[in-house]
Structure 1
Amino acid sequence: MFATTALAALFFVPASSEMGFLLAACALLTMTGSIDDRYDLHYQLRLGVQALSACLMIWGANTSLLSFGDIFGFGDIKLGFLSIPITIVAVIGMINAFNMIDGIDGLSGGLSLITVTALYFLIGDRIADGASNILLLMIGALTAYLIMNLHIFPKWTPKIFMGDAGSMVLGFTITAFLIRYSQGIKEIMMPVTGLWLVAVPLMDIFVTCIRRIRHGRSPFHPDRTHVHHIFMKAGLSRRNTLLVILAFHSIAVTIGVVLETTIHSDYISFIFFAVLFFAYLEFIKHSFKASKWIKRTFRKTR
């Protein structure tokens, strides 16, 4: 996915130093992820590389979080001297969010495709820096990947996997787009809209890490407590689990896009997202009963 998108970008995206730094960061993550898939690198080394990629984005591509917007209704929340550390933490967090949720076929790729499609809808031709072309290339690469990952045409295509190399690059690229086009002179959407566009990976990593810390484990210690594991433990098949999570993410993204394009209020959008987040927490709290209800619903629709 990285190789084809990067190669095509050389022909269809205007050349710039900012694009060069972003491609360099993606190449670094792809290489690190590939080595990690083979040799299982220590998480501290992965975090270091992710932080370096964030720095390439901040100083090379001039992309960083400057403000959270007017999410509390008291005025724009400027980050000031906290801009750089918060940006690095945000990039690392979202890279690992897309990496950690990549637990069943099609999940990380499907979530990414929904988010990238929404970004293309929001950006369109409003920015003349080739961003829409990059998003189209990503949509094409993700669609091709999902066809083979889900083995839709088993007679004609091999089954391939994304691995850390793919999921980390997707998390980084999506985060770079969300930050770049919600801040400063290139702002075309509210910062809070970015939360809607990565709703499922964001909420999953937050809840999973908090649960691990409460049980005295490292937040980077792998286990089977992600949202897709919960559904499968309740008896849903992998296919149905994938459909439920992608449907939920599609609804969340759609709500975010509608709030962005109609109301365009940071405060109202943030309130709605907070409601969604607390509803998600309640679902996780009663996840076994909720997933059982979903399983019965799937049986009735057959």
Structure 2
Amino acid sequence: MLLINNLFISASLYWWINVSAVFMVGIVCSSLIIPQILLVAFRKRLFDPQDERKLHRNATPRLGGIAFTPLLIFSIVLLQGINLLLGRNDIATNIQEHITELTFSLCATLLIYQTGITDDLIGVRYRAKFIVQIIGGGMLAFSGLWIDNLHGLFGLYALPPFAGYLLTVIVVVFIINATNLIDGIDGLASGLSGMALLYYGIVFMYREAYIYAFLAFALLGVIIPFFCYNVFGNPKRGRKIFMGDTGSLTLGIILSILGIKACMGPMHGSEPVNPFATAFAPLIIPCFDVLRVFLHRLRNGQAPFAPDKNHIHHKLLSAGLSQRRTLVCILAMSLSFTVVNITCARWININLLLAADIAVWTLLNIRLTQFIKNKNKKKPIKTETFTDYAN
């Protein structure tokens, strides 16, 4: 860390050293805390309830998300404190540049985090969760963190404050619920979120909005140990844990903050990529999936918020893939959508790009549904053999 105080290192290297440090602090702290959460959960028997929709058959705690917000804040504050001790106030200066946005973002995150804890422990009705999410979105909007420009989407550019505030709240609620609902198999929500956080971290490092890069890399570091316990942990040995609503809601609000900030455009210079594509490319899979499921339920006369097994991971499981292969498949799809959108957004109109995304996603789901139907038709029909005992 003494190198950080050396005036001969470049500014770029200074920030990369710090972002690497906040990432490592997140990993180390999460690796130490998650085993303690497991210990408490087993002693107090705080397990995820099992029902016909759940895939696990062993008692598994769902309190992993409790670690996310405190360790995220701890990692960033600790690094800032170390820098101040070394006589560097660069991080504090960068925070000061965004202090209003960050203050209300922290309040919104803590509000969502507390709601998630309550839901995991005693349950919260979805209407109450929606109200809290709307309040959180309103906090972001009124702090100055709002979608002020659609960058040509639907032919719209700069938005008036009222329309931008309303759209921001809708986007926040949508992303939070998309992240929450995609959490259906081991590692899916944390894997998709991890890829998005890595992407946002690099974007904000490029834009020199370093505190937002810290936010992304710190949370990425925190969820990596959780991902290992969630995907590779042995439930019979008490080494497996779920994130619960606390984790998925926290990931949702942080991804909302980063996505909206990215949509506001670069702070220095210009980018060759449309900011709207830059902002939401890594969130295509969860957002498209929840929208498709929502429309499917409405079309079939079902309650739009009723649980079912129509998400993309349920379809892939029905097609015969294992949980692990389903996870890899969806992560690969998300990576492909992100890379293709960011690459094509340099030359293709954002509206054409969005239409192409919707078309690809729709065709993919149609083919998958047809495959599942054909697979079920080929299953042998079990018949019972009756024996005539009459004399």
Instruction: Give TM-score scaled by structure 2 length.
Output: 0.68
Q: How does 1:253-268 map to 2 (within 5 A)?
A: 253-259=338-344, 263=346, 268=349
**1:194 counterpart = 2:279:** yes
Q: Percent identity?
A: 26
Q: Which amino acid aligns with 2:157?
A: I
Greater alpha carbon shift after TM alignment, 192-201 vs 207-216: 192-201
Structure-1 residue corresponding to 2:86: none
* Aligned counterpart in structure 2 of residue 64 of structure 1, from 130, 146, 155: 146
1:300 maps to none
Distance in 2 of aligned mates of 1:232 and 1:19: 40
Are the aligned partners of 2:175 and 2:287 in contact in 1 as well (CA < 8 Å)? yes
Q: For residues 82-117 of structure 1, what are the alpha-carbon distances to aligned partners after superposition, in whole Å with 9 as ceiling and x for unaligned? A: 111111111101100000010001000000011111
The aligned counterpart of 1:107 is: 188
Per-residue deviation, 1:275: 1.1
In the alignment, what sits opposite 1:145?
Answer: 226
CA distance in 2, matches of 1:28, 1:51: 11
User: What residue is the counterpart of 2:74 in the other structure?
Assistant: 7
- Equivalent residues of 1:122, 1:257 under 8 A apart: no
Structure 2 unaligned segments of length 5 or more: list them: 1-67, 80-90, 375-391
Cα offset for 1:255?
A: 1.8
C-alpha spacing 1:245/1:269, structure 2 compared with 1 (3 Å): same
Matched, 1:250 2:335: yes
Contact 1:283/1:290, CA 8 A, preserved across alignment: no
Equivalent residue runs for 1:1-302 within 5 Å: 1-12=68-79, 14=92, 15=95, 16-60=99-143, 62-71=144-153, 76-80=156-160, 81-151=162-232, 158-183=239-264, 186=267, 190-259=275-344, 263=346, 268-290=349-371
Provide the C-alpha distance between the structure 2 equivalents of 1:211 and 1:155, rounded to a whole number of angstroms. 37
Deviations 1:263-290 (A, max 9, x none): 2x5x534423321221211222232345
- Matches of 1:45 and 1:259, distance apart in 2: 40
Closer, same or farther: CA 240–119 of 1 in aligned 2, 3 Å: same
Q: CA deviation at 1:7?
A: 1.2
In 1, Cα distance between the equivalents of 2:210 and 2:77? 13
State the alpha-carbon separation in 1 of the partners of residues 283 and 241 from structure 2: 24
Residues 158 and 273 of structure 1: CA distance in aligned 2, closer, same or farther (over 3 Å): same
CA distance in 2, matches of 1:25, 1:151: 32
Q: Note the alpha carbon deviations across 1:138-160, whole angstroms, 9 max, x for none.
A: 12112111011112588998222
Structure 1: any 5+ residue segments left out of the alignment?
Answer: 294-302
Residue 6 of structure 2: aligned partner: none
> How many Å separate the matches in 1 of 2:107 and 2:354?
33
What letter is aligned with 1:78? Answer: A
Structure with max Cα Rg = 2
Asked if 1 retains the 8 angstrom alpha-carbon contact of 2:151 and 2:276, the reply is yes
Please name the residue that 2:12 is paired with. none
Task: Give the distance between the partners of 1:168 and 1:39, measured in 2 at CA.
Answer: 16
Distance verdict in 2 for CA 1:158–1:212, change over 3 Å? same
TM-score, normalising length: structure 1: 0.86
Q: Is the 8 A contact 2:229 2:241 kept in 1?
A: yes
